[in-house]
Amino acid sequence: MIYYNIVLIKEGNKLSKSLKKLTICKDCGLVLNKPHLDYDHQFHCPRCNALIYKYGQDYLTILLFVFTSIILFVPAVTLPLMSLEIMDLKQSTTLVETLLIFFKNGYTAISILITFIGIVVPLFMLILILIILIPLRLGKNAKYVSKPLKLYEHLLEWQMGEIYMISIVIAIIKLQKMATLDIGLGFYFFLGFLIMMSLTMALFNPYDVWNDDEL
């Protein structure tokens, strides 16, 4: 009985390793062997020519983009986003102060939603990329990164930095009709943060990590 169980375990391990070498075309369902690609090549389905796999950027480049994004994030939320002048009264507000104003004036749901989408989600996604990639870059065991990787993929649905930026621009246009408005440094840092964040998301391909043999 013990020998039989050992045989089953060995056969199960062989099957698991074999399945890891396979992939499926999302368009036509064709089962294919995973290719060994470099960063310059793409893999297309031989039946329908759909893109099966394309490498993201190398881990070191992605990490540099992540650190740059985090550096830009700090002044983006602490420096004045804009300043308003109405009848010789001038007031500057940061992104955080703007959200607090919304909250104090009864727009609780809006302030929470904006904070979650515009601040919490982007920053948390960057931290997750660090948690995922730093050990891989250092050659550590990759098995434990599956949970943060799954969480990252779920948060991709909430990544709406572009929509957030458009909302700010619309608000600025409307405010210019009511008062003298000056764009602060915080706005440019936040714009830079969103650009770097978008580039990071474009360069980082979670499938590169999933396809790691050690995962």
Write the DSSP string, 88-129.
TEEEEEEHHHHHHHHHHTT-HHHHHHHHIIIIIHHHHHHHHH
Residue ranges of domains in the chain? 2-54, 59-210
CA distance 107 to 85: 23
User: pLDDT tens digit string along 114-145?
Assistant: 778 778 888 899 999 998 888 877 777 666 77
Mean pLDDT of 162-174: 62
- Amino acid identity of residue 88, one-letter, is D
pTM for the model stands at: 0.67
Checking if the pLDDT of 18 tops 60, the result is no
- pLDDT tens digit string along 180-204? 667 788 888 988 998 898 888 888 8
